[in-house]
Amino acid sequence: MDYYRNLPAEKDNENIDRPQVSVAVIHRLPRYFRYLRELIRNGRMRISSGELAEMMGVTASQIRQDLNCFGGFGQQGYGYNVNYLYAKISELLGVGAGLQAVIIGAGDLGRALVRSSMFEKRGVDIIAMFDVDSKLIHKEVGDVTIYDMVDLEQFCKEHQVDIAVLTLPKEFVEREASRLVECGVKGLWNFTGRELSYESDTVVVENVHLGDSLMSLNYALCRKLGEEETKKKSEERETQK
Amino acid sequence: MDYYRNLPAEKDNENIDRPQVSVAVIHRLPRYFRYLRELIRNGRMRISSGELAEMMGVTASQIRQDLNCFGGFGQQGYGYNVNYLYAKISELLGVGAGLQAVIIGAGDLGRALVRSSMFEKRGVDIIAMFDVDSKLIHKEVGDVTIYDMVDLEQFCKEHQVDIAVLTLPKEFVEREASRLVECGVKGLWNFTGRELSYESDTVVVENVHLGDSLMSLNYALCRKLGEEETKKKSEERETQK
């Protein structure tokens, strides 16, 4: 197919019933997903690569290279069919795959996550929360029940649990992650700040490090403030001359 | 200095009173910061590049290349001085810079962030939260008071506000970000899911997209489940033969 002409052949993607897409494109897809979602919400039916590029702060050529393998465009000058493209990207990202998740830890972060619309928007169903605090057990957050951590194995036997969102204190994360993997959970979304690594054929781990993001901001900010300070001093010297 | 031999010269870092470090290293520093912190907590005084490499799942050569520019090692066979290295990296990342932050939005996420130890660990002081909900105003979360959004300008006149953490609904983010920038806030840590971009000479923005992280997990998980399914079917076929 002509669409693939700009894309590197991806050996380990070959056996999948999905368009052949490079790893770099895969990492950019969630961003397209967000922008297309916003366009749909605003009632847009189609968009040119140029306009989408401007919205996203990338080049039109990048957009064409990334998205042409999904089709979703008619002819030169028509642009992309927004709904079609959104549906294709959603499918590739597993939005319609019916994934089910549990949240381990019913503290502030667990509660914030369960109440956000993030999971629903991405087709992931939160079916339970777990905690060890007896004051929380059997309570509900939103419409999700908090269960006792001791019942984890039983719950996983009775329900399909694809993803565990880890918001428990980091001291316990290795132990509880092992229990979850033992229960057959294949995806760990880890917010504890302590990195988990498993052989990739056992389980998929996504470590989230909010603190690292804050540090990046701090660094850039300190650098900026330092530059401003230097500039100010140099201007003061100029004025004094 | 001999330490710099493996590092690319960084033109725009030259005027700063800090070790000369490449952008790629800067992005890896928060991870070193976390691991060194953990070592300190466990009472470790020194560590070899080999051991640190194993902990972090990278090569010892990468570690040496990244960290040698900070010094902190005595001689061959001694390894790194953990406290010294931690102090140097902290300094570079602005941990001791006395940065002050406000959180815009006192919803679940804002509350989860203010109650976490993340800011304190990184030397950022949360001095206020802001919201528009009159039921929340003047309440406290932890020891941080929630102020009325209408008082933002006044508050920023009376206090040094370096960073605003944006956890408000995304429909309002552009408007409120503009107000904050107008007030002289130079750093925006944006959790709204709607990307903000400013000219880099005005303000530093760090956009956090938790949903993108979830999508990456979903994608990897669907791929893994698909492969397992394929393998299972192929094994069933083998058995039937």
Least confident span in A61-70, A154-163, B205-214, B215-224: A61-70
Pick the CATH number of B3-92 from 3.40.710.10, 1.10.10.10, 3.30.420.40, 1.10.40.50: 1.10.10.10
Every domain of chain A with CATH number 3.40.50.720 lies at 100-208
Interfacial B residues in 124-163 facing A (CB < 8 Å) = 124, 162-163
pLDDT digits (tens, 9 = 90+) for A7-16: 333 334 433 4
Cβ neighbourhood burial of A175 (10 Å; 0-12, 13-18, 19+): exposed
* pLDDT at position B148 over 90: yes
pLDDT digits (tens, 9 = 90+) for B88-124: 899 888 898 899 999 999 999 999 999 988 999 999 9
Query: Tell me, what's the pLDDT at A1?
Result: 29
Burial A222-237 (b: 16+ CB within 10 A, else e): bbbbbeeeeeeeeeee
Identify the residue whose tokens are 């194995």: A153
A143 contacts: CB under 8 Å, gap ≥ 6: none
Query: Tell me, what's the pLDDT at A198?
Result: 82
Please report, in angstroms and rounded to a whole number, the separation of the first and last CA atoms in chain B: 69
* pLDDT at position B215 over 90: yes
Pick the CATH number of A100-208 from 3.40.50.720, 3.10.20.30, 3.40.50.300, 3.30.1600.10: 3.40.50.720
The interface predicted TM-score of the complex, written ipTM, equals: 0.83
Percent residues over pLDDT 90 in chain A: 59
Tokens of B149: 């959004």
> What band does B208 get if pLDDT is binned at 50, 70 and 90?
very high
pLDDT digits (tens, 9 = 90+) for B17-55: 456 677 788 889 999 999 999 999 999 999 988 999 999
Query: Tell me, what's the pLDDT at B192?
Result: 94
Collect all residues of chain A within an 8 Å Cβ-Cβ radius of residue B29: 215, 219
Identify whether the C-beta of residue B161 lies closer than 8 Å to the C-beta of residue B124: no
Tokens of A164: 């565990």
Identify whether the C-beta of residue B75 lies closer than 8 Å to the C-beta of residue B10: no
Q: What is the least distance, in Å, from the CA of A25 to any CA of chain B?
A: 11
Measured at the CA of A175, the angle between CA A170 and CA A176, to 5 degrees, comes to 80
Q: Residues for chain A: how many in total?
A: 241
Identify the DSSP state of B25.
H
State the DSSP string of B118-187. HHHHTT-EEEEEEES-TTTTT-EETTEEEEEGGGHHHHHHHS---EEEE-S-GGGHHHHHHHHHHTT--E
* pLDDT at position A2 over 60: no
pLDDT digits (tens, 9 = 90+) for B60-93: 989 988 887 776 565 567 788 899 999 989 988 8
Query: Tell me, what's the pLDDT at A54?
Result: 92
| Beta-carbon separation of B187 and A213 below 8 A | no
Give the one of A57, A210, A219 whose C-beta lies nearest to B26's C-beta.
A219
Every domain of chain A with CATH number 1.10.10.10 lies at 3-92
Identify the residue whose tokens are 């791929």: B223
Measure the CA–CA gap between A143 and A159, rounded to whole angstroms. Answer: 17
Tokens of A236: 């003061």
Backbone angles phi, psi at B127, to 5 degrees: -105, -10
Tokens of A218: 């701090």
Collect all residues of chain B within an 8 Å Cβ-Cβ radius of residue A217: 163, 187, 189, 204, 206
Query: Tell me, what's the pLDDT at B77?
Result: 72
> What band does A183 get if pLDDT is binned at 50, 70 and 90?
very high
Task: Give the gyration radius of chain B's Cα atoms.
Answer: 23
B183 contacts chain A (CB < 8 A)? no
Query: Tell me, what's the pLDDT at B161?
Result: 97
